[in-house]
Each structure stands twice: as C-alpha cells, then as structure tokens.
Chain A
Amino acid sequence: MKIIEWFLDRFRLRSTHRGIFDRNIPEGINYFYCLGGIAFTAFLICLFSGLFLSFHYIPSEKEAYLSIIRIHEEVNLGKLMRSVHKWSANVLIVSIILHSIRVFITKSYRPPRELNWIVGVLMFFLVMIEGFTGYLLPWDQKAYWATVVGTNIVGSIPFIGEFLMLLIRGGYEVSGTTLTRFYSFHVLWFPLLMAVLLWAHFHMVKKLGISKPL
C-alpha cells in the first residue's frame, strides 16, 4: 500500500517501528516477565474507564453523590464502568507489587537499570495516592470520613503539618473545595505525571533492553 508507506515515512515511524519490533529478547525469560505488561494493561483499562466516567461525574458538593447515583441507574453501562474502574485499579496495584517482587528476585534493578527502578517506585507511590484521592470522589459517608482521617494524619506532622493539611484540604474542613481539589489531582495532575513516568520507564526498557535472566 503506497499511502501507508508514505504515511510511515513522512511520520518518521519507520526507524523506531523497526527498532522496537526487531529487538532480541534474551533467552530464558519466563512468564513472570509478563507482570509489568499486565500492570500496564490494567492501567490503560483504568484510564479509559475513568475517561468515560468523567463524562457523567460532576465534582461538586451538591452534585457529586447524585451524579454517582445517575451513573449507576441511568447511564448506559455506567455501573459497569464504575466496576471496571475499581477492579482495574485493584488489579493494577496487585500486579505492580508482584512486578516489583519479580524485578527484585531477578536482580534487574542493578546498574545500569537503577534509575528505571526508581521511576517504578515513584509510579507505585503515585498509584497509591491516586487510590487515596479517588476514594473521596463518590462523596458518600465512607469517602468523606476516610479523607477526614487521612488528612488528619498529615495535619499531625509537627511544624509543617497544618500548612500541608490546608494545602490538601483547601480549608480547615473537608468540603466542596477539597472535592474539586482531589478531582483535579485524580484526573489531571497525577495522570499527567504518570504519563511522563511511564514514558521514561518504557524508554529505558527499550534502550537498556530486558535484563538477562540469571
């Protein structure tokens, strides 16, 4: 197909495309090496179900709880999307933990891959924080009080605690301000940071190659 050839050439996809696909895979790799890929798949499913949820979710004090009910009862496949979002997040966390155990056991974090290990730890931390900020968004009893308890812990740090708590809550109480703030963190700040870190992670995997099994 000429037009495809033209597209690939003008888009300068030819070289990188070949680069990725022609890579040699070291011998002796087992199925535990799939855990990172499973984590990435779970992340993508989580991302897309979240994008669909954001069509209908309203991050305001008065509307948040009602919009969740609407997603559940009126929106087409809305309940399924909520379910998929929740379960893909759980699968994501389990697979990240198992993936890091695999990397540790095969000693793949050793130089020259130590920076990639650090990026991975940062992503794990980010996913945990995503779980915390996402927990408030349904704006129900459990969500509200979990955030009160969680942010109280931050507030108990000596000297800087109060400042940090005000920064996170956007006031002295957990309120609608906190909700919009957490929404912004959950759907804009953290996913953006996550995308940068994921790019770095894959970039290093590509350039350094898959570590040789022991």
Chain B
Amino acid sequence: MKKKFYPDYLIEILFFAILTFEVILLLSFIFPPVIGREIDFISPYQPRPEWYYLWLFWLLRFFSTDTVFIGGVIIPLICILFLICIPWLDKRIGWRWTAILGFIILLLFIVGTIVEGLS
C-alpha cells in the first residue's frame, strides 16, 4: 500500500513529537537542575563539562600544556572534516571502510565518555 504524507505519515510524526515532549517533561521533573556555587575567582578549580564534552576532556589528558590544541582543536576538526567528507569517502573507499572509520570515531566518543564519566 502506498503511504501518503497526509494522513499516514503525519499522524506518526505527531505521535513521536508528543512522546518526545512527554519524555523531556518527565526527565525535567525527575532530575531538576541545581543552582551552582558562586564563583571563586582565586583558587583554580577543575570543572567537569557536560557529558557530550567528556570525550574531549578525556582526550586532553594525553596532551601537555603546549600541545593541548591538538586534542582540543585539531582532532575535533578532523572528526568534523571526516563527517563532511563521508559522501566522497564512500565513493572512494567503499561503504565498509567508511563505516569502520566512522565506528572508530564513535568508539572514541563512547569510550571517552564512559572512562571520563566514571572517574
């Protein structure tokens, strides 16, 4: 059977939109935000970033103060460049190799997040 955007697809979209709204509302009620401490400008403090930056934080541990830009700027830029180039990489080296490279980056993200999140 041929599906039309209206009404078949639209009703599914609306269902998931409402579900998303409810999940967000539920999370908001269960885990309300807290007010942070006032800034202490004098003593340096090691902050923890949001979970989606934890992998970068983990990566930075492997670099010294002089080369920190490699972990903090160069590697993320390479990741973005890789993502942008995926359609052409796919043509050059095939889907399987592109997938393996992409999986390595995803693994970097997941491992970094878990290691840094647990420490």
Bound-state Cα–Cα, A161 to B70, Å: 12
- B contact residues around A88 at 8 Å (CB): 24
Does A24 lie within 8 Å of B35, measured CB to CB? no
Tell me, yes or no, whether A171 is within 8 Å of chain B by CB: no
A185 CB within 8 Å of chain B: no
Query: Of all chain B residues, which has the CB nearest A117?
Result: B87
Our pick among A24, A93, A158 for the contact of B52 (Cβ within 8 Å) is A93
Compute the total of residue contacts between A and B using a CB distance below 8 Å: 159
Q: Is the CB of B23 within 8 A of A91?
A: yes
A141 adjacent to B28 (CB under 8 Å): no
Select which of B8, B17, B32 is within 8 A of A25 by beta carbon: B8
Interface string of A119-162 (1 = CB under 8 A from B): 00100110010011001001111111110011011101110010
Q: In the complex the two chains form, what is the Cα distance from A110 to B28 in whole Å? A: 38
Instruction: Tell whether, in the assembled complex, residue B6 and residue A27 are in contact, meaning their CB atoms are under 8 Å apart.
Output: no
Interface size class of A (residues with CB under 8 A): 35 or more
Identify B24's interface contact among A87, A111, A124, A125, CB under 8 A: A87
Give the distance in Å from the alpha carbon of A68 to the alpha carbon of B16 in the complex.
32
CB pair A27–B3 under 8 Å, yes or no, is yes
What is the CA–CA distance of A34 and B21 in the complex, to the nearest angstrom?
14
Identify the A interface with B (CB < 8 A).
Answer: 20-27, 29, 34, 37-38, 41-42, 45, 65, 68-69, 72, 79-80, 82-84, 86-88, 90-91, 93, 95, 100-101, 104, 107, 109-111, 114, 117-118, 121, 124-125, 128, 131-132, 135, 138-146, 149-150, 152-154, 156-158, 161
